[in-house]
Structure 1
């Protein structure tokens, strides 16, 4: 029987599917990974399928052991027809012995769309294109990966138009909030049940990051990287406010605002009022957006607790302590420029800023601290990206091999050095040891929560932005705005499966 190109590619590319075992072979206590386990559990609870979440949580407690077992049995039998074999040994990716796969014929070109270069982060695209992609191509002769960097604000629309026009890549580095939406639309390919070693790979990552790929009981990707936002300031800002340490609570933040009054430095800046921006305030203030089962926003989003928290921000805005960047003024100084130049005393941002500032403001020395705590504690939002395959790809086996390669210790730790936090639980301690500044982010991930895991999560962002912006501009009350937003979100929750 004549074998299809996909079948031959799958056999030849099996090397990519074994790389993950190296990442998991260093046995780690399930409770000692750097912070993300609790955040992962929070994200898992937001998944729409309870049974899947339960099994995922169970996988977390056995992930190190199962990964270790996988590493010890990672030798793949030679395929006589394809003429390829591969083996992986060693601990945590170090000393791994990998046999190069037999050349793929005809040659395969994979196209990957992503946003690694956003914000001027040249370090991530450099690592990807000069180190990691060449490594994958060397292990898989005949396979070429073409990376296309796309601005974050354009990628979602490009996926939508590409799906309509039949012009999609093989692979996408997708925002975690998009997977359910494009899975529902039939754009992303289901991986469980079709991708070799998917179960092994899925057990190696933090459960909550895996849950961002879940829709309607199936998984449409694997987590690629995770992150969260923390408070960032610097010593000059603290000195200007007469403080020796970053604000730890809402009250500390308001005190800091009072001390900055009359200076040219605003207390806090952010670039919008969407979920990514407003949720850390709402959660830290002790509120929620919906009920735990994601069925209703009314009575939750517009609670008295949330009204008080948002009113605090409005009051700071009216006191000129939050600039109109938060309401969409495109002419305002960005947070990435405003903090190092002394316009803003604090911002919320992620681990990727370290390299951006190193290139643009080499003398700037940021200070990282947890999100200020309110009645609910210090709670931030889980971010990150997933790696997915499009249904339209004609190179499914090759794409699956690249997906597996992204889960390897080589890939994960290389990207961790550029500010992308690993999703592989066994690598968490090594990541923080290599870059101690990541400890604040890892600690924040212990309590961080995911955005709503529904296909229409993007509409929730739009609703929040549109409802809250007029309030900051003096039109209407916080209570009325949150109530109106909740009424618009309710039907999205009802149709979320």
Structure 2
């Protein structure tokens, strides 16, 4: 497995890992654990758990661990890496048993259900000394809406760019040097590419499961009320946008068999030259190059598609310290070390991800596009977006809510529901789930 493939599985945890409710806190939890983490002595053994980073990043991770142990004599970091498959079940079971590792690698969506039970050390307090070194949007991703505090240190990030097939742009009469920047431009470009393709290729893949709610948020649609319990995305603006998607599907902008397909199928379609536009993380450029060099050679990149306020989204992965850790001081010190600017910059140079520290992002590596490659351009674009980007999808938008909402949106695109009916029913279904 290549490095880019290895991290692809871990990166999927940024958007796909979810957690069933009802987990217990487990035992061994100290009421003063946040204070202990901030002031305790850094020594002894801890366990550090990641998501499918072996074997591609073994040398890097083990190098950071060795440096930490050298700088902190008497410490011993045991690294455990678990496969993406089955991770949800394992972490759920470990949390219920009070057996989570001392430092755990999670995304906000997954971790929030545990933090709702008060499971993790408050990093707003315990790591206040490093808070200002992180991109604000990344730090704020690890907070529970309606509550004070934060519960994780941001680690690596992704910020979507717009990849597109320059050859298909030219065939459609579009300027191959001018990618779309807005949702209307995206749909218009998609329409022209599909018309030129006449069934051989299409403009866009919908990838509703991954994109629909995020795209609403980018356009200023309020997704969740201030009470953090009531879904509110059935607005006139959302209805207008969904109507545009319905028209696009019915007019052949999307492949007919793509309605229920996910991001993986979208990736396959772009690599096969069957779609012209592919909004996704820049880390997928390496995957495209490995699997379809001819398509990679024709690929251009542009900024993330945004709404009128130019709000961009980011996906976040972080490191969290459970309150139940018997060595929270060492665990927090290690999490700080792993996520510091130097170590994040080194990690970002191994694979196409972004660091969450502002100092790392100032490195010329994220601004130099002199080699003229799509990869360096994508890196510069995504890095430039990060400073003001946010994790736009509410942490409560979990697997259950996603399935209910997207099911209604699919019915609208097929013509079984109007845009308003679909949104109203989606909100009702989401509220019913969240109320439980």
Superposed pair shares fold, TM > 0.5: yes
Give the direction of change, closer, same or farther, for the CA distance of 1:348–1:325 in structure 2 (3 Å limit): farther
What does residue 441 of structure 1 align with?
382
What does residue 427 of structure 1 align with?
360
Does the 8 A contact of 2:342 with 2:360 survive in 1? no
2:131 corresponds to which of 202, 218, 241: 202
Which has the higher mean CA deviation after the structures are superposed, 166-175 or 199-208?
A: 166-175
How far apart, CA to CA, are the structure 2 residues paired with 1:447 and 1:277? Answer: 20
Does the 8 A contact of 1:371 with 1:379 survive in 2? no
2:243 corresponds to which of 311, 326, 329: 311
Q: Note the C-alpha offset of 1:166.
A: 4.3
How far apart, CA to CA, are the structure 2 residues paired with 1:381 and 1:293? Answer: 22
How far apart, CA to CA, are the structure 2 residues paired with 1:268 and 1:253? Answer: 8
Give the direction of change, closer, same or farther, for the CA distance of 1:110–1:377 in structure 2 (3 Å limit): same
Does the 8 A contact of 1:212 with 1:453 survive in 2? no
2:171 corresponds to which of 211, 235, 240: 240
What does residue 367 of structure 1 align with?
300
Q: Note the C-alpha offset of 1:183.
A: 0.9
| Matched ranges for 1:98-497 at <5 A | 108-116=45-53, 125-126=57-58, 128-129=60-61, 131-140=63-72, 142-151=75-84, 154-193=86-125, 195=126, 198-215=127-144, 216-244=147-175, 245-256=178-189, 257-261=191-195, 262-273=198-209, 276-291=210-225, 294=228, 296-298=230-232, 301-323=233-255, 327-329=259-261, 334-363=265-294, 364-365=296-297, 366-373=299-306, 376-417=308-349, 418-430=351-363, 431-433=365-367, 435-445=376-386, 448-455=389-396, 457-490=398-431
TM-score by length of 2: 0.75
How far apart, CA to CA, are the structure 2 residues paired with 1:425 and 1:167? Answer: 33
How far apart, CA to CA, are the structure 2 residues paired with 1:253 and 1:455? Answer: 28
List per-residue Cα deviations over 1:170-215 (Å, max 9, x = no partner): 222211223332111244333444x4xx111112112221112223
Q: Note the C-alpha offset of 1:397.
A: 2.6
Q: Note the C-alpha offset of 1:494.
A: 8.0
What does residue 5 of structure 1 align with?
none
Give the direction of change, closer, same or farther, for the CA distance of 1:237–1:459 in structure 2 (3 Å limit): same
How far apart, CA to CA, are the structure 1 residues paired with 2:221 and 2:151? Answer: 31
Does the 8 A contact of 1:233 with 1:345 survive in 2? yes
User: Which 5+ residue runs of structure 2 have no aligned equivalent?
Assistant: 1-39, 369-375
Does the 8 A contact of 1:264 with 1:343 survive in 2? yes
Q: CA RMSD in A?
A: 3.3
Does the 8 A contact of 2:151 with 2:320 survive in 1? yes
The secondary structure found in structure 2 opposite 1:214 is coil
Q: Note the C-alpha offset of 1:342.
A: 0.5
Does the 8 A contact of 1:177 with 1:458 survive in 2? no
Q: Note the C-alpha offset of 1:440.
A: 1.6
How far apart, CA to CA, are the structure 2 residues paired with 1:385 and 1:113? Answer: 10
How far apart, CA to CA, are the structure 2 residues paired with 1:392 and 1:307? Answer: 46
How far apart, CA to CA, are the structure 2 residues paired with 1:111 and 1:278? Answer: 34
Give the direction of change, closer, same or farther, for the CA distance of 1:297–1:166 in structure 2 (3 Å limit): closer
Does the 8 A contact of 2:194 with 2:202 survive in 1? yes
User: Which 5+ residue runs of structure 1 have no aligned equivalent?
Assistant: 1-78, 83-100
Does the 8 A contact of 1:181 with 1:456 survive in 2? no
Larger radius of gyration: 1
Give the direction of change, closer, same or farther, for the CA distance of 1:165–1:453 in structure 2 (3 Å limit): same
The secondary structure found in structure 1 opposite 2:49 is strand
Q: Note the C-alpha offset of 1:479.
A: 0.8
Does the 8 A contact of 1:111 with 1:170 survive in 2? yes
Q: Note the C-alpha offset of 1:421.
A: 1.1
Give the direction of change, closer, same or farther, for the CA distance of 1:130–1:146 in structure 2 (3 Å limit): closer
TM-score by length of 1: 0.66
The secondary structure found in structure 1 opposite 2:355 is coil
